[in-house]
Amino acid sequence: MELIIVIKIADKTRSKTLDWHTRIHIIDGIARGLVYLHHDSRLRIIHRDLKTSNILLDNGMNPKISDFGLAKMFGRDQTEAKTKRVIGTYGYMSPEYAFDGCFSLKSDVFSFGVLVLEIVTGKRNRRFSDPQHDHNLLGHAWKLWMEERPLELVDNTLGDSYNITQVLRCINVALLCVQQRPDDRPNMGLVLLMLCGESKLPEPKQPGFFLERNLPSAGHESGTLGKQESSSLDESSITTLEPR
């Protein structure tokens, strides 16, 4: 029977088993899965709840996107839709979906960007804290990027055993994915090319995020997110590397 586990990033004991080679393999596999859902499947499929607990790993550490309970199927000529009932996980939702109920392929791209930052850093987006500011992980990543200190994002458990060029490319791509405006985000086909390529990447614009203290209180991972007066977005829960 094939072993299936859930990604666990925040547990420092288990995260040590996720070396850089494994992490980049997981990032690449998730990207390829989304390319299939968005571009290669007969119908376009928007997952709408992409998060670490919905990424399963087999015994070869190959990622499988799971839990399509909130997924929406689009025709080939449809690119976006709107709903009055916003359901998903705080911290992975794009701003336009969280606040206005608008979702598209670029909503999944935003969630993918959050996942990449969490995999690189070993930190949760929503529960992230830093003594120098009140930003979530997206805000922290943006701050370090603007200060030209992006390598400070790398998970300490990795030590020096990572490829600097790959790490910088992953952070750059992740920040491109979580930009505030959907039109500024690349599609998943381009994301995969950027992750695998060597060409110079564009500079990201400010991500869509808000401060942790502006989050609505929520003791669960999924639920309806009402409109807020804050101008940008934050997140929700993360999970782990546990046998299923």
| DSSP string for 3-16 | --EE---S-HHHHT
At residue 6, does pLDDT exceed 80?
Answer: no
pLDDT score of 242: 37
At residue 107, does pLDDT exceed 70?
Answer: yes
| C-beta atoms surrounding 167 within 10 Å | 20
* Interval 146-174: pLDDT, tens: 999 999 999 999 988 899 999 999 999 99
Could you give all domains of the chain from N- to C-terminal order, each with its CATH number?
A: 5-224 (1.10.510.10)
At residue 88, does pLDDT exceed 80?
Answer: yes
Q: Bin 208: left if φ > 0, else alpha if -120 < ψ < 50, else beta.
A: beta
| Amino acid present at 98 | A
DSSP string computed for 66-83? ---TT-EEE-TT--EEE-
At residue 177, does pLDDT exceed 90?
Answer: yes
Percent of the chain's residues with pLDDT above 90: 60
At residue 136, does pLDDT exceed 50?
Answer: yes
At residue 129, does pLDDT exceed 90?
Answer: no
- Residue 11 a catalytic site member: no
At residue 224, does pLDDT exceed 80?
Answer: no
CA distances from residue 229 to 100, 210, 214 in whole angstroms, order as listed: 12, 11, 9
Closest CA to 19 of 48, 81, 61: 61
pLDDT score of 213: 43
Q: Identify the top-confidence range among 6-15, 22-31, 119-128.
A: 22-31
Instruction: Please report where in the chains the tokens 């920040």 appear, as a residue.
Output: 175
Average pLDDT in the chain:
82
Q: What integer is the mean pLDDT of 77-105?
A: 89
Q: Is the pTM for the entire model greater than 0.95?
A: no
Q: Which two tokens stand for residue 157?
A: 């458990």
Q: Are strands 222-224 and 87-89 parallel, antiparallel or unpaired?
A: antiparallel
Q: Which two tokens stand for residue 194?
A: 């950027």
Q: Are 238 and 53 in contact (CB under 8 A)?
A: yes
Alpha carbon of residue 41 to chain centroid: 21
Among residues 28, 40, 49, 67, the one annotated as catalytic is: 49
| C-beta atoms surrounding 36 within 10 Å | 13
At residue 240, does pLDDT exceed 50?
Answer: no
At residue 230, does pLDDT exceed 70?
Answer: no
Q: What integer is the mean pLDDT of 83-106?
A: 91
Q: What integer is the mean pLDDT of 139-143?
A: 92
pLDDT score of 79: 76
